[in-house]
Structure 1
Amino acid sequence: MGKIVVSENVSLDGVVEDPTGDQGFARGGWFGQMPERDRDAWAEVELDEAVGAAALLLGRRSDAWFAARWLSRRGEWADRLNSLPKYVVSATIQDPRWSNATVVRGNVVDEVRKLKTEVDGEIVVYASTPLVRTLLEHDLVDELRLMVFPVVLGTGERLFGETSDSKPLRLTSVRTVGNSLAFLTYQPVKY
Structure 2
Amino acid sequence: KVTPGGELQVHGSGVLTRCLLENDLVDEMTLITVPVVLGQGRRLFPDVGPEAALDLVESRVDTMGVTIQVFRPAGRPQHVGTVARWRVVQDG
> TM-score band (shorter)?
0.5 to 0.7
Match among 104, 121, 136 for residue 5 of structure 2: 121
Which residue is 2:32 aligned to? 147
The structural deviation recorded for 1:136 is: 2.0
Which residue is 1:161 aligned to? 46
Rounded to whole Å, the distance in 1 between the matches of 2:12 and 2:36 is 21
The structural deviation recorded for 1:178 is: 4.0
Closer, same or farther in 2 for the Cα pair 1:127/1:133, shift >3 Å?
same
Which runs of structure 2 are paired with 1:45-124 in the superposition (5 Å)?
120-124=4-8
Gaps of 5+ in 2: 77-92
Cα RMSD after superposing both structures: 2.3
Rounded to whole Å, the distance in 1 between the matches of 2:46 and 2:60 is 25
Higher relative contact order (CA 8 A, sep 6+): 1
Match among 158, 161, 174 for residue 59 of structure 2: 174
Rounded to whole Å, the distance in 2 between the matches of 1:168 and 1:156 is 24
Closer, same or farther in 2 for the Cα pair 1:163/1:170, shift >3 Å?
farther
2:23 is the alignment partner of 1:138: yes
Q: Normalization by structure 2: what TM-score?
A: 0.63
Which AA in structure 1 matches 2:55?
R
Q: The residue matched to 2:8 in structure 1 has which SS?
A: strand
Rounded to whole Å, the distance in 1 between the matches of 2:45 and 2:51 is 11
Which residue is 1:51 aligned to? none
Rounded to whole Å, the distance in 2 between the matches of 1:163 and 1:122 is 29
Rounded to whole Å, the distance in 2 between the matches of 1:123 and 1:170 is 20
Larger Rg: 1
**How many aligned residue pairs are there?**
75
2:88 is the alignment partner of 1:184: no
Gaps of 5+ in 1: 4-118
Which AA in structure 2 matches 1:188?
P
Q: Normalization by structure 1: what TM-score?
A: 0.34
Which AA in structure 2 matches 1:158?
R
> Identity of aligned pairs, percent?
33
